[in-house]
């Protein structure tokens, strides 16, 4: 793993949360996008080499909506940047981690992503991220 790529925070209202984080961090998000496959709207704030991702549910049955209903707003996941997501997935599976997807899928911010089940990572949802290059 190369570095912490971002910390994901589940929010009820992205507009209000963007305003809050703009005041907190002294800058606006550099990117906002909808991720249809995950039923979320996201915004990203750059913090040196790491990022903060705010996630707002766009469907009542989405993972973010369920998370907020159960735990309230707050830290949802931590993402690590990797060079070779498929090799890292294979390595982690061989170490006993339960992967939530068998193959990398397209995520926000031009990344291939895979999630590790929190029950196998001390209750933390872990995301692996690899930048999508043009040849991918």
Instruction: Single out the residue of 14, 68, 59, 15 nearest to residue 36, CA to CA.
Output: 59
In a 13 Å sphere around the CA of 107, the CA atoms on its Cβ side amount to 23
Q: What is the pLDDT of residues 71-101, one digit of tens each?
A: 999 999 999 999 999 999 999 999 999 999 9
Instruction: Judge whether 91 and 17 are in contact, CB under 8 Å.
Output: no
Q: What is the pLDDT of residues 25-56, one digit of tens each?
A: 999 999 999 999 899 999 999 999 999 999 99
Question: pTM of this prediction?
Answer: 0.91
């Amino acid at each position: 793993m190369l570095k912490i790529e971002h910390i994901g925070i589940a929010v009820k209202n992205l507009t209000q949360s963007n305003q809050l984080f703009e005041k907190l961090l002294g800058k606006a998000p550099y990117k906002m996008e909808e991720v249809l496959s995950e039923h979320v709207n996201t915004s990203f704030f750059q913090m040196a080499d790491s990022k903060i991702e705010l996630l707002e549910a766009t469907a009542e049955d989405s993972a973010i909506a369920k998370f907020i209903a159960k735990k309230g707003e707050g830290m949802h996941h931590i993402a690590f940047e990797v060079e070779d997501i498929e090799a890292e997935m294979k390595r982690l599976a061989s170490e006993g981690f339960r992967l939530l997807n068998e193959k990398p899928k397209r995520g926000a911010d031009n990344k291939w992503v895979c999630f590790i089940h929190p029950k196998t990572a001390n209750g933390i949802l872990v995301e692996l991220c690899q930048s999508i290059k043009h040849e991918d």
